[in-house]
Amino acid sequence: MTILTRRKLISSAAIGAGSLLTGCDALNRNPTFQNMLASAESGNFAVQRALGDRMQLASEYNIADLSPSFRANGTRDPGTSEYAASAAQGFADWQLRLTGLFSKPRQFSLAALQSLPQRTQITRHDCVEGWSAIGQWTGVPVKILLDVAGLRDSARFLVFHCADQLGGRPYYESIDLLDAYHPQTILAHRLNGEALPVANGAPLRLRVERQLGYKQAKYITGIEAVASLAGIGEGKGGYWQDVANYEWYAGI
């Protein structure tokens, strides 16, 4: 359990803190969470504290801290005719498909996503290649989508499918339910107060603020709720995990 080695110990009181309570139903059915609670009850408070740490908020910054420009990395344009056609009409035809373990699987247009509650946050993006940038992201909390589509009890992970390919393979990423219900985990459609640029993942990209840059999937076409990552890609939970053995949990 890498989080145990990475995480400083904090007060276990943080587990019940603030808005995180709203995700507790789903967390209670998460096996990781249940195992952690079982361990905590049997006296392993380090496990419980590590869990609390994963639920903390990432630092948020001020407008004055914004990077002059937000650098782009990886795919800067998916480059397909389908994507170009959608971009040409301001992504009015873009559909986000929620598939897999949902009781009410459905799709959302960009306009439908924008009519849901939104969150804006200024955070620092850290890429493993050694650069960082601070940007202001606006989007819909992933939790809202899970509630609307009825995430099933059997779901353990969310897989984010993307419109681009690198070296002939589709880019994808995945997160567990702790991150899915984290209040700063959003599907962003705006960067620094403007529509998300193509280079940064238009029209939709994931922000999962406690993790490194490669987890921040761009050009998202679908969210698939699954019980296991085994059948997705090569089974390691993401493009860079499959291709170069990057860690699945890229905590910062």
Burial of 206 (0-12, 13-18, 19+ CB in 10 A): buried
The residue among 6 and 71 lying less far from ligand MTE, judged by its C-beta, is: 71
Q: In Å, what is the CA distance from 181 to each residue of 64, 140, 178, 225?
A: 29, 12, 6, 13
Q: Of 33, 172, 214, 240, which lies in the binding site for Mo ion, with binding defined by CB under 5 A? A: 214
The residue among 30 and 216 lying less far from ligand MTE, judged by its C-beta, is: 216
Determine if 233 is a binding residue for Mo ion (CB under 5 A). Answer: no
Q: What are phi and psi of 236, to 5 degrees?
A: -100, 5
Determine if 213 is a binding residue for Mo ion (CB under 5 A). Answer: yes
- What SS3 class is residue 135? strand
Quote the DSSP letter at residue 74. S
- What SS3 class is residue 139? strand
Q: Which stretch binds Mo ion (CB under 5 A): 36-44, 64-72, 180-188, 213-221?
A: 213-221
CA atoms within 13 A on the CB side of 185: 27
Determine if 214 is a binding residue for ligand MTE (CB under 6 A). Answer: yes
Quote the DSSP letter at residue 55. T
Determine if 240 is a binding residue for Mo ion (CB under 5 A). Answer: no
Distance, in Å, from the CA atom of 149 to the CA atom of 144, rounded to the nearest integer, reads 9
Determine if 218 is a binding residue for ligand MTE (CB under 6 A). Answer: yes
Determine if 101 is a binding residue for ligand MTE (CB under 6 A). Answer: no
Site residues for ligand MTE, 121-180, by CB under 6 A, read 127, 162, 164, 166, 171
Q: Of 127, 199, 227, 243, which lies in the binding site for Mo ion, with binding defined by CB under 5 A? A: 127
Residue 123: contacted member of Mo ion, ligand MTE, none (CB under 5 to 8 Å, by partner type): none
Determine if 135 is a binding residue for Mo ion (CB under 5 A). Answer: no
Q: Per-residue x/- mask for ligand MTE, residues 34 to 73, rule CB under 6 A?
A: -------------------------------------xxx
- What SS3 class is residue 149? helix
Quote the DSSP letter at residue 219. S
Q: Which residue has the tokens 């504290």?
A: 49
Distance, in Å, from the CA atom of 252 to the CA atom of 216, rounded to the nearest integer, reads 13
Determine if 33 is a binding residue for ligand MTE (CB under 6 A). Answer: no
Supply 36's token pair.
């952690």
Determine if 249 is a binding residue for ligand MTE (CB under 6 A). Answer: no
For ligand MTE, the binding residues (CB under 6 A) are: 71-75, 127, 162, 164, 166, 171, 199-201, 213-214, 216-219
For Mo ion, the binding residues (CB under 5 A) are: 127, 213-214
